[in-house]
Structure 1
Amino acid sequence: MTLSRLHRTTLPRLAAAALVAATLGSGLAGCAPLIIGGAALGGAMLATDRRTSGSQLDDQTIELKAGSRIRELVGAREHVNVQSYNKVVLLTGEVHNDADRKAIDESIRKIDGVKDVFNETVIGWPSSLGERSKDELLRSKVATRLLGSKELAANIFTVVCERNVIYLMGRVTEREAGIATNLAREVEGVEKVVRVLEIATEDQIGVRKPGI
């Protein structure tokens, strides 16, 4: 299996560009990640997460450690979200300068177990509560669209949104990645889709197509 690297394609609202790209937060502290088919939909959905229970716990531990290190480095003056999937970390949000951006990146790479870091933070003022609320709404729309697709199993994508950019994380097949990308980019307001996906074959994942 391979982890697709980060390639960016700007997606005007209904653009037909396809992309294979590499890619925390909670509440409105940035656009929170949503695990499709999560706890609110019942334990049966949670069982479909393609990470082992141990990997899920490792990811939670990485997120907690990363959040603590970010607070130690920059305090509350910057807005950085962390999401980990199979020990691959996605950073989104805003930092004041390049020195802070590099310091955060280097510190999180040193956390035990972290395989890679995709630093998508930008230099600028922290987003406003209103901007984060809009991101949260957009994330919810994309997540709902993926959940409603008959071509995708539930709970296989984590959706993160920042500044109208959708980030998709998960362990999926190329077919599933393509379907999710197309569905996400069709949602009004999405400017770009970035995929931080672990691509594997159906045999490697043990996938059965929905409905079979």
Structure 2
Amino acid sequence: MNQKIHAKKISVIAMLLISTQLSGCFPAIVGGAAAGGAMAADRRSSGIYVEDENIELKTLKRISQYMDKSSHINVTSYNRIVLLTGEVPNAGQQAQAETLTREVANVRDIHNAITVGFTSSISDRSNDAYITTKVKARFLSENLFPANVVKVVTEAGLVYLMGIVSEKEANDAVEIARTTEGVSKVVKVFEYSK
């Protein structure tokens, strides 16, 4: 027992020492611990949770390598279903983003919600982040379902809802999101549990 406590102390000290040597990386370590907690409460298996993270990273890397720099594309993967949002200057790039995503291993399906038009401003993106926060806060306050089972993505006031949910949970989530100030439309990208 004493050896276990000693090993834990050494681990904590090592983590603290490493965090002081990696400027700006301590939040990543703490964020990683928080992600571990979120993963434990998620309906996806831990393997799929990690795979979704990998799909997002690999897709963003491919898009940054091959797409026009004037494009603004967000990639969200949930249970290997990828939601593409953002803006591109033309339909060819909209299709190219989907093609690049399809080439990433383990992607099951793609919902391409990228719009053709001007790139959103920082102010627009901040407003979308604020709407996402309000929707998530209402999920918590309404307490009709476990708030962590629905992923919320907002783009230009449109709220996309992803997750593995029952029909009732989906309906409750849509109603909460739909009645949140600033939301122009709700789009369901759910998978339904049996």
Indicate whether 1:99 and 2:53 are aligned: no
Out of 156, 160, 165, the residue aligned to residue 163 of structure 1 is 156
Q: Which amino acid aligns with 1:97?
A: N
Q: CA offset at residue 110 of structure 1?
A: 1.6
State yes or no: 1:70 paired with 2:63: yes
Q: Distance in 1 between matches of 2:131 and 2:147?
A: 19
CA distance in 1, matches of 2:137, 2:34: 12
- The aligned runs of 1:89-168 (5 Å cut-off) are 89-168=82-161
**Which runs of no fewer than 5 residues in structure 1 stay unpaired?**
1-37, 202-212
Superposition TM-score, scaled by structure 2 size: 0.80
The 5 Å alignment of 1:1-212 reads 45-201=38-194
Q: Output the TM-score relative to the length of structure 1.
A: 0.73
Cα RMSD, aligned residues only: 1.8
Tell me the amino acid that sits aligned with residue 73 of structure 2: V
Counterpart of 1:73, as a letter, is Y
Structure 2 distance, partners of 1:129, 1:173, is 35
SS at match of 1:114: coil
Q: 1:40 to 1:140 in 2, by over 3 A?
A: farther
> CA, structure 1 residues 44+79, in 2 after alignment: closer, same or farther (shift >3 Å)?
closer
RCO higher in structure (CA 8 A, sep ≥6): 1
Q: Secondary structure at the match of 1:81?
A: strand
Q: 2:142 is aligned with what amino acid?
A: S
Cα drift, residue 46 of structure 1: 4.0
| 8 A Cα contact 1:45 1:154, kept in partner | no
Q: 1:150 deviation in Å?
A: 2.1
Shift of 1:147: 1.9
Q: Offset at 1:47? A: 1.8
Compute the displacement of 1:75 (Å): 4.4
AA at the equivalent of 1:137: Y
Q: Whose helix proportion is higher, 1 or 2? A: 2
Q: Which has the larger radius of gyration?
A: 2
State how far apart, in whole Å, the 2-side matches of 1:52 and 1:108 are. Answer: 22
Unaligned runs of 5+ in 2: 1-30
Please state whether the residue corresponding to 1:189 is helix, strand or coil.
coil
Identity in percent: 41
